Amino acid sequence: IMFLRRPLSLLSSSGLRRQRRQRGGERHGFRGGGKKKRASFASLTTSTNDTNKEESSIFQSRLYSPKPTRLSHIQSAYVHLPFCKQKCHYCDFATQIIGDRRTGRDGGKINDAMDAYTDFVCREITHQGRLRGTYEKTSSRGGREKNEKGLATIFFGGGTPSLMSVKQMEKLLVSLENAFGIDWSQVEISMECDPGTFTREKLRGFVGLGVNRISLGAQSFDENVLKACGRTHGVLEIYESIEHVHALLGSGRSSGGKSDSKFSGSRSNSIETWSIDLISGLPGSTLEIWEKGLYEAIECEAPHVSAYDLQVEEKTAFGKWYGDDDSDDSDQD
């Protein structure tokens, strides 16, 4: 879970991934200048070295201090939902593969695991709200102090958040609202969705919770390229998902009146905007295929297209297949 003092403000999935890496490095002890080294958590908490003891003291005070200066005013939250049908060949993020077992023999176990993860994240959100002194003090439903508007942007990334149930997503949003409050008059709630992982009714359920921005992970409009990079959907599923999104597109945030949202403070009962993710440089892709994909994205009237280059990461399928053969020699040097 990532909490920020500034709004995420329509970040593309690729941009958010870069921010995840950067902020992850800051949290784990990466420092600018010279060779970057990772400071282990153990060294901060258990070492008998005087320097490490001092660092541990600072770490503990910063993490557990309820002082208002410790990010007490939270404007944005990123929630990672790691579940995927299968691992894409280019992906190096923390994921939990569930395959099609959710509807098979092991479906009950998978649902239990997803429920357990949801409950754990909700406890962490509540814990962070209490540490910052905002828990149930910035609630949208009452008792909010003046000028404390709560969260302005929420981003559910993954993994594949659209594999979550509406009930699980509702638990997460309730926890965020209780811990930090949600400014329903202007909040942007984004959700990464993969084609073929949601129906129109399920998407309507997410929208009813307040989700008003969809990031659709198409990646390519070519069937062979999709198969080559390990995607579980085809081109047909992309078009079906786009139809679902268009069916729930609205004219923007309503200025008043009754909302169909399950959250009483919400002013949005429709999708306000959406985006498509495309990856260039995938195996089998040509200039013509790439141009076709961009053309299709424009034809689908996507307000925003996140186009980013393929990065071959270590410990991925692409890393094993297409990685630098000289990597072992360079490591020895």
Please, which pLDDT band fits residue 10 given cuts at 50, 70 and 90?
very low
Q: What is the per-residue pLDDT for 116? A: 96
Can you tell me the distance from the alpha carbon of 83 to that of 96, in angstroms, rounded to the nearest whole number? 5
Q: 46: buried, middle or exposed (CB in 10 Å: 19+, 13-18, 0-12)?
A: exposed
Q: Would you say residue 277 has pLDDT above 70? A: yes
- Average pLDDT, integer, range 135-163: 75
Cβ(291)–Cβ(220) under 8 Å? no
pLDDT of residue 141 exceeding 50: no
Residue 273 confidence (pLDDT): 96
Cα distance between residue 255 and residue 257, in whole Å: 7
Mutual orientation of helices 200-209 and 166-180 as an angle, nearest 10°?
A: 10
Can you give the pTM of this predicted structure?
Answer: 0.74
Phi, psi for 20 (deg, rounded to 5):
-60, -45
CB neighbour list of residue 30: distance below 8 Å, 6 or more residues apart: 36, 37, 38
- Under the banding of pLDDT at 50, 70 and 90, the label for residue 248 is very high
Tokens coding 19: 């921010």
Q: Provide the pLDDT for residue 60.
A: 57
